[in-house]
Structure 1
Amino acid sequence: MNTNEIESDLEDDYWNDTLDEAGNKIPSPEPKDYDDDDINKKRKTVKQNNFRFVDPEDAKFEKLEIDLGRFIEDVRQLGVTASDPGDNANDIIRMKLRNIANGLQHMNEISNQFMNHQIPIKIFDFVDEMKNPNVYSKAVFEETDAKNTEVNGKIEQYKKYKAMVMSKWAEEMPDAALQYMLLRKETDTDKDPSFL
């Protein structure tokens, strides 16, 4: 097996071209300023030609995912080649190291496109625990739902407590309680009702 056959075999994987569900190639995005008219014209043209419209923001992340996948695949192939050297292994290792260095340089160049996107710190805990980062959003929704349920329960308890205090106060001092409720109704019409 010569060097060209090995290179083509190593590069012949699913990272070469990314296709969508319909089999159309997803274009590599270039950072551009789009105005709404341009995007609407492109969408109409795409619909007429039976192509899928790819939002530039989404395409940017898809391109990053593809680039990271290629980078990971290069590192994996380097490890395989280095652990089982054969004929022309040095050439292949040099080529893979060059690809990895170019990939790191490329990631550094495009990193400024992603500076305004914040990543929650907790997602790194998921990755460290060898969990799928896509499960993170589900975990956050479940945690938020649990907190909302807890807060709603507290709000209901405060409302019940307020009603109980008001009823006891109305029994002990009916005139003062009536004045308070009338005054409270006047101020509640100006703003959202409070919980207490």
Structure 2
Amino acid sequence: MNSEDRFSKLEGNLEELIENIRQTCIMVSDFQPQGQNNLNQKMHSIVNSLQEVDRSKGAFQDVSVPVSVLRYIDQGTNPQLYSKDLMQKALAKNEEVRGKIEVYKKFYNTFSEEMSKTFPEVFDFYVKTRQAET
């Protein structure tokens, strides 16, 4: 079974489980004694769906979910937006780092100019040493 099939099968099992739970909630909220057999069948369906999900856990041993995704879900956020938010944070951090790099470049250029004016011999030695290293 390929990766996509196993996820599709698990997704189907979970959707069936959710639907059975939804229907059971409706039956319980408006319980009628004559509906006991139907309620029992739904409960058996829920148990069977849970057992099926439990049996399929072996097919997902190689899957790891980052803890941050689980926190994201716990906060009630759509996990499909996780990657989008992660990329936006990475882009923002990238811009921040680019800004710092530009500031350091400007500082280096200004510092080099002032060093060459104030200490020309030391700065020439620095430049020659740096050229020899590369």
Q: Does the residue aligned with 1:134 lie in a helix, a strand or coil?
A: helix
1:116 maps to 62
Alpha-carbon distance change, 185 to 91 in structure 1, aligned in 2, over 3 angstroms: farther
The answer to whether the 8 A contact 1:78-1:97 is kept is yes
- Of residues 6, 24, 27, the one that matches 1:81 is 27
Map residues 88-167 of structure 1 onto 2, 5 A cutoff. 88-167=34-113
1:15 maps to none
Distance 1:175 1:164 in 2: 17
The answer to whether the 8 A contact 1:82-1:89 is kept is no
Map residues 1-196 of structure 1 onto 2, 5 A cutoff. 30=1, 56-86=2-32, 88-188=34-134
Distance 2:70 2:32 in 1: 38
Cα offset, 1:87, TM superposition? 6.6
Instruction: Read off the aligned partner of 2:39 and give its amino acid letter.
Output: I
Alpha-carbon distance change, 171 to 64 in structure 1, aligned in 2, over 3 angstroms: same
- Name the one with the larger helix percent: 2
Distance 1:130 1:137 in 2: 15
Q: Answer 1 or 2: higher relative contact order, Cα 8 Å, separation at least 6.
A: 2
TM normalised by structure 2 equals: 0.84
Alpha-carbon distance change, 181 to 137 in structure 1, aligned in 2, over 3 angstroms: same
Tell me whether 67-76 or 91-100 shows the greater mean CA deviation.
91-100
CA RMSD of aligned residues (A): 2.0
Cα offset, 1:88, TM superposition? 4.6
The answer to whether the 8 A contact 1:170-1:177 is kept is yes
User: Which sections of structure 2, spanning at least 5 residues, go unmatched?
Assistant: none
Size of the aligned set, in residue pairs, is 134
Distance 1:165 1:116 in 2: 53
The percentage of counterpart residues that share the same residue type is 29
Distance 2:7 2:100 in 1: 41
TM normalised by structure 1 equals: 0.60
